[in-house]
Amino acid sequence: MPFVKSNLANSLKITTLAENSAMSHLLGQWGLSFLLELVDGKGAKRKIIFDTGIAKRALLQNIKSLKVDLSDVDCIVLSHGHLDHTAATAEIVKAAGGVKVYGHPHTFLSRFRVDKSGKKRQLGVPKGEGLAEIEKVGGKVVLTSKPTEVVPGLWTTGQIKRATSFERALPLSKKERAVIRVHNEEVDDEILDDQALWALVEGVGPYVVTGCAHSGVINTLLHVQKIGQLRDIYGVIGGTHLVGRSEDYLQQTIRKLKQFELKLISPCHCTAFKAMAKLWSAFPHAFVYNFSGRTIEAGKESKPRII
């Protein structure tokens, strides 16, 4: 389905349900989950869960503490099939009364990391959160590599084109491999299932919400520009996977981010402290520190921006 600019969101609110850091009454985790609430072009209220963290009990506790009602969730979108983004999908599907779960065809495949000694570490969707478990509690899994309008005015990017020369899916060391099993064959995992969400908010502009941005945050924004026929991006929120990157990689990312004339940048999760500090320095008026419990509303100033 091609993007139609008449499919605007009238409003957009994004609440961080799970992230590395947290407000005092919430729990942090090395994982990510967002609640997106929007009013679509016809005035209907929509609610979407984007990713479901790594620590199931901590995420569900945060949802309870934030008094988030899951019964009227429209759907769940998974950014990719890593364990730190997929740990409570079945539980949220059940609480929502059975909803669609959107992902890429690679999302639920077996994947792992191999260190230089040959030891394997599982990276994929945790046990109990797979296709069968989701369907058992009433979920309908939709797997596609194409951009998809999950509710009116909110789109997935689908599989993101790798256009930049420097962005890489993971910062692997020598003799280390990321592996995925595709058609019973173990191949290098480029994390092709990585996708983001985006919306064009009426009167404000385009917002992009990332999971880990394994495709590269620049590639992600370029992809949204292309499929949405957009010029600038108003805001980007979410993981950037700048953790463990070289100084040159960080500087290239910052230089290219400035081309989008961002009015809001709220990185979190896999961005890590060093990159976070550099982004704050590079975008002092656009930067908003993210944490579990943070709410960002399109077109409204987030206060305090830094804590």
pLDDT at 6 over 60: no
pLDDT at 307: 83
Per-residue pLDDT for 16 more than 60? yes
* pLDDT-based confidence at residue 41 (cuts at 50, 70, 90): confident
CA dihedral over 278, 283, 289, 290, signed as positive or negative: negative
pLDDT digits (tens, 9 = 90+) for 137-149: 999 999 999 999 9
**Alpha-carbon span 278 to 50, nearest angstrom:** 26
Q: Above 60 in pLDDT, residue 210? A: yes
For the stretch 228-267, pLDDT in tens is: 999 999 999 999 999 999 999 999 999 999 999 999 999 9
pLDDT, residue 151, reads: 96
Domain parsing of the chain, residue ranges? 9-155+179-297
For residues 91 and 102, give the distance between their C-alpha atoms in angstroms, rounded to a whole number.
15
User: Three-state SS for 12?
Assistant: strand
CATH homologous superfamily of 9-155+179-297: Ribonuclease Z/Hydroxyacylglutathione hydrolase-like (3.60.15.10)
User: Cα separation of 30 and 269, whole Å?
Assistant: 7
Residues paired with residue 86 on neighbouring β-strands, in sequence order:
none
Q: Which backbone phi and psi does 154 adopt, to 5 degrees? A: -130, 125
For 6-23, give one letter per residue: b (16+ CB within 10 A) or e. Answer: ebbbbbbebbbbbbbbbb
To the nearest whole number, what is the mean pLDDT of the chain?
A: 96
**In a 10 Å sphere around its CB, with 0-12 CB exposed, 13-18 middle and 19+ buried, how is residue 246 labelled?**
exposed
How far is the C-alpha of 284 from the C-alpha of 281, rounded, in Å? 6
- Is the per-residue pLDDT at 3 higher than 70? no
